[in-house]
Structure 1
Amino acid sequence: MNKQIIITASVFGVLAVMAGAFGAHGLKTLIEPQQLAVWHTAVEYNFYHVFALLFLSTFGQNKSKFISASYYLFTFGIIFFSGSLYLLACRDLLNMSWLWIMGPITPVGGLLFMAGWITLALAAMRGK
């Protein structure tokens, strides 16, 4: 599981760096400041949870169901939370006004993040 966690964190890490650079250099003149702030929030939470994934990998060979749950919760949290914000920030640029439907997906990602942190705490409490 550790190898899978580190690989997932690496993929999301490189995507966060790319998204941050794209926002700072490519989108800066193309979208409104409010949309750029949304993009920046997506990048921040993407990075925060890359670090959370890397922390999960430090649990060694712990085969805890809570570690596994945290892994999936953080992973899908990044996809739902940051992914929906990336799309929402660019919906005008992409001329896809229908992307407003992503709005309700963002809080689901936030709930997944919270559940991931709770299961991480449970893993620590039950670990040796």
Structure 2
Amino acid sequence: MKTITLIIGAVYGLTSVILGAFGAHALKKVLSVERLTSFETGVKYQMYHALLLLIIGFFLKFETGIEKTTAWFIILGTFLFSVSIYFLSFQDVLKTNLKFLGPITPIGGLFMILGWALLIYVFAKTKF
């Protein structure tokens, strides 16, 4: 689980840098200010949680189910949150209605919140 967490954290970091650069340069001409702001929010949250995954990947031992669940909640939550925002940002460009993805974003956010809450629990129970 440690290796998976570190690899996914690094992949999230890599793709957030690529998407951030893409958004800063190429998307200014394509997306409205509102859609670009949403896209940038997805990129920011992806990077924040990439860093979090790298940190917990290095510091957690993943000996308990709670530690593993913490990582999976953050991995899944970040994916659902950010990817749904990316697609919603592009729905005008794609000329398609992707509003069905709207409820996915807060579900992803909920998983991220649960991941942070479990991390607090892990820290409270761990003797350092």
Query: What is the TM-score normalised by the length of structure 1?
Result: 0.94
Segments of 4+ moved more than 3 angstroms: none
Aligned equivalents of 1:121 and 1:64: distance in 2?
14
| Equivalence map 1:69-88=2 (5 Å) | 69-88=69-88
Where in structure 1 are there 5+ consecutive unaligned residues?
none
Contact map agreement 1:56 1:67 (CA 8 A) in 2: no
Instruction: Give the superposed CA RMSD.
Output: 1.1
State the Cα deviation string for residues 29-58 of structure 1 (Å, max 9, x = none).
001000000000000100111111112113
Contact map agreement 1:5 1:53 (CA 8 A) in 2: yes
Provide the residue aligned with 1:47 in structure 2.
Answer: 47
Shift of 1:92: 0.6
Shift of 1:62: 4.1
| Equivalence map 1:1-128=2 (5 Å) | 1-97=1-97, 99-128=98-127
Aligned equivalents of 2:28 and 2:100: distance in 1?
24
Aligned equivalents of 2:116 and 2:72: distance in 1?
11
Shift of 1:94: 1.2
Contact map agreement 1:64 1:123 (CA 8 A) in 2: no
Where in structure 2 are there 5+ consecutive unaligned residues?
none
Aligned-residue identity in percent: 34
Shift of 1:64: 2.2
State the Cα deviation string for residues 2-53 of structure 1 (Å, max 9, x = none).
2211101011111111110111111110010000000000001001111111
